[in-house]
Structure formats: structure tokens, C-alpha cells
Amino acid sequence: MQAVGRGARAPRRRIASAVAAVLVLAGVLALGLGHGRAPRTAGSAGTAADGLPHTGVEVSPGRCGRGWDTPVPGLQVFDLHNTSDRAAEVILEDPGSHAVYGEVEDIGPGTTRSLTVRLGRGAYAFRCLPEDADAATGPTVRVDRGRSGPAAAPVTAHDLIPPALDYQKWVAGGLREAVRLAVRLREAIDRGDLAAARTAWLPAHLQYERLGAAYDAFGDADGRINGTDAGLPGGVRDASFTGFHRIEYGLWHGESARGLRAPAAGLVTALTALRDDWAQARMDPAQLGLRAHEILENTVQFELTGRTDYGSGSNLAAARANLDGTRAVLTRLRPLLADRYSGLSALERKMDRAETLLDGFRHGGRWTPLDRLSRSEREKTDAVLGDLVERLASVATLCDPRRTA
């Protein structure tokens, strides 16, 4: 977990644009991808070079969904053409249950975006949601045969409030423990026992790493507590390099206890202030699913590349703590995901596998450094964590609150 602007982790938010652009409902073929050809006009239909049936559909407040006049079952493409003067989001849904089959966001005025879905027996309607305007629902279209791809009931912001509040309480307890462990680290440094300080550093750091889904609500405090020297003019000797990694660098590069007293005191002060302020903090419930994905996305990008190692060789330990943090989010989202995400059981099994794999690199209080892994161990670790990142993208998408009006 690293602060944007203080560490190297600025790409944290890039998944948001990908999720916003295209809905991927737990592996559903709702890709919103272009097909390398001229867009069809609304009302046109036929088979394109990709071999799939294409139907042009109009996107506008007054003519939402117009053009879909000859429904067919099976895998097909809708070319959504925005004829209005403002960008719009389009959802293909069951008009009765409002279960979502596919979504494309940010269709600009006069532009066409494609939505690929598999449709079977059932009723369907397009819902058009223009920016700064009321939603409009197109005519209901019925398909009389075939089997459709899975759909998911939309998650609302209201649905996410209870799990977000419960998660905030969990974070509060985690911050209290982080302060306690940081005080132990500071005390070891204050009495000049650097061996004890090196032993105390890792539990304190891992406790903070487990709180990864809350980083956005931590604000600038995250940078003071867990920032790196990336982008700092003085590098590791810059006065703005503070927190866990500043202390890690000193402990594993021969710095004296005297030189580490101020950074240790600063860490305790920053963590204590964050703990005390947390009661008034408010996480955005709409971000909870996205954060579950981002924790491990950053793990792969920074921990598994060693970019946050300042001497302790504890990247795999941090990755394991990040798995704990991801699990904490998923546990609270599970009631929402249980009947929406068909891949939930497989995701949980993959989480178990990843935890077992990383636990194998722990030897008492020590962890195997990244550069001590064999090639096969490194490849397996990258593959297991990378697979989890892909699966968690579906969680982020399914828990992205849908606009309904």
C-alpha cells in the first residue's frame, strides 16, 4: 500500500477507467469492443466480417434502443450509436428484474461503441443514461429460444453502505494494532537495540499493509506512513522520505539508532493521528469492490518486482499481508457477490492457494527474499497472483454501483 505521489504507485486508479468503459459480468461476453469496421447505423442488421450478427441501435433520450427490430438468439454484437449531444452510458437489462447483461459507458456524441453479448429466451431492453439527463428505457424485445449468458442484479450505492461501515470498523481495530506495534519499534530504536528494532519492524509494517483497501481515505497520511523515495529529489536521503520504508532503509543499511529516532517518532505520531482521525473519516462505499482489485494489482506491480524493498527482503511477507487485506474486503462483499458472481467459489479457492503458496516462503520469523526464489518459484508466484488480479476485476465490476435514473 503506497501513497500516490509519494511512492511509485500512481497507476492505482487506472483500472477505474477500464471498469467504467466496459462491463465484464463474471466472464460474460459483454466486452464493449470495437470490431475494426465501419459502424452500422441504427436499424441496420447483418453479419460482419467477424461472423457475428450485428445490429445498429440508437442511443438518445427520445429513441433509446431503437433499431433492434429483429431479435435473434446467440452470440451477437450491438453497435450503439449515440445521436444525442452528450455522452451516455447504455445498459442492456431484463426490464422486469433489471438484471444487467452488458454495459458500455462514455459513448460520446456522434460516436459508436460495440457491445457483444449472448442472448437466449427472455425479455430485454436498453436503458440509456445520458450525462446530466434523466434515464430513458427503450422498447422491450423478446427472444423466443436459446440460452443467454449470465446476468447480474445491479449493485446500488445503498447496498454497499453496510459492508463499507463494517470494513471501516475493522480498519479502526487494525490501526490501533499498528500504533501498538509501531510504539514497540520506536522503543527498540530509542534504547539502541537495532537487532530488536529489525525484529519489530516487520510485524508493524505488515499490520499496516493489511489495511490496503482504505488507502484513499487515509489521504496524505498514507504517504507519511508508507511512502517510498520515488520522485523525491534527494532519494533515500530526502527529508520528505519518512515512515516505514525510511526506517527500513536505515535498519538494513547500517544507520545508527540515533539517526533513526526521529523517523521512528514521526511514524508513531503519523499513525496515532490517523488512528484518532479515523472515527471521523468516511470511505466511499462505491469504491470498496474496486479496492479489492487494486490491493493485489499493486502487489503484483510493486511487491513482486521488489520495487518497495529497502533492505529487509520482505516483499513476499507484504504480499501475504495484502492477501489478508483482500480477504477482509471480500468477506464483507460476499453477501452481495454470492448470487451475482458465479466465479466466487473458484476465486475463494484461488485465494486459499495463493495464501498457501506464500506461507511456504515463511520460515519462522523470516521470509525468503525475492532474489532467493528459484525461477520456477518466481514464475508460479507471478502466475498465481496475476490470476487473482484478473478474477478480482470481475468483483470490481460487479460492485460498481449502477445508475438507475
DSSP for 267-307, please give it: HHHHHHHHHHHGGG----GGGHHHHHHHHHHHIIIIITTTT
Torsion of CA 14, 401, 100, 325, to 10 degrees: 60
Confidence band for 48, pLDDT divided at 50, 70 and 90: low
- pLDDT of the residue at 25: 41
Interval 291-350: pLDDT, tens: 989 999 999 999 999 999 999 999 999 999 999 999 999 999 999 999 889 899 999 999
Which residue in 30, 60, 14, 291 sits closest to 171, CA to CA? 291
What contacts 24+ positions apart, CB below 8 Å, involve 302-306? 302/2, 302/7, 302/8, 302/9, 304/370, 304/381, 304/382, 304/385, 306/370, 306/371
pLDDT category, 33, cuts 50, 70, 90? very low
Q: What are phi and psi of 267, to 5 degrees?
A: -65, -45
Estimate the crossing angle of helix 194-209 against helix 257-277, to 10 degrees. Answer: 30
Q: CA 32 to CA 383: how far, in whole Å?
A: 27
Q: What mean pLDDT do residues 206-214 have? A: 91
The whole-chain average pLDDT of the chain stands at: 88
pLDDT score of 310? 98
The DSSP output letter for 142 is E
Distance between CA 382 and CA 387 in Å, rounded?
A: 8
Burial of residue 147 (number of CB atoms within 10 Å: 0-12, 13-18, 19+): exposed
Which residue is it, cell 423478446?
142
- Where are the domains positioned within the chain? 27-143, 157-398
pLDDT number for residue 404: 67
Confidence tier at 2 by pLDDT (50, 70, 90): very low
Cell readout for 368 is 525468503
CA distances from 296 to 6, 216, 293 (A): 19, 15, 6
Nearest of 341, 353, 389, 346 to residue 27 by alpha carbon: 341
pLDDT of the residue at 402: 76
CATH class of the structural domain 27-143: mainly beta
Does residue 18 carry a pLDDT above 50?
no
pLDDT average, residue stretch 386-400: 92
Instruction: Give the chain's length.
Output: 405
Distance of CA 270 to the CA centre of its chain: 26
Query: Three-state secondary structure along 299-322?
Result: HHHHHCCCCCCCCCCCHHHHHHHH
Beta pairing, strands 53-59 & 45-47: antiparallel
Residue 339's pLDDT is 87
Q: Do β-strands 122-130 and 141-143 pair in parallel, antiparallel, or remain unpaired?
A: antiparallel
Rounded Cα distance between 278 and 214, Å, is 10
Cα gap 105→129, rounded to integer Å: 9
In words, the CATH class of domain 157-398 is mainly alpha
Provide the 10 A C-beta neighbour count for residue 195.
Answer: 9
Q: What would the pLDDT profile of 117-139 be if each residue is shown by its tens digit?
A: 999 999 999 999 999 889 999 99
pTM over cut 0.85: no
Average pLDDT, integer, range 371-392: 97
pLDDT band at 45 (very low <50, low <70, confident <90, very high): low
The mean pLDDT of 204-222, rounded to a whole number, is: 89
What pLDDT sits at residue 49? Answer: 73
* Residue whose C-alpha cell is 469492490: 289
- Beta strand pairing status for 53-59 and 74-82? parallel
Q: Quick check: 106 pLDDT over 50?
A: yes
Which pLDDT belongs to residue 46?
63
Mean pLDDT of 243-259: 98
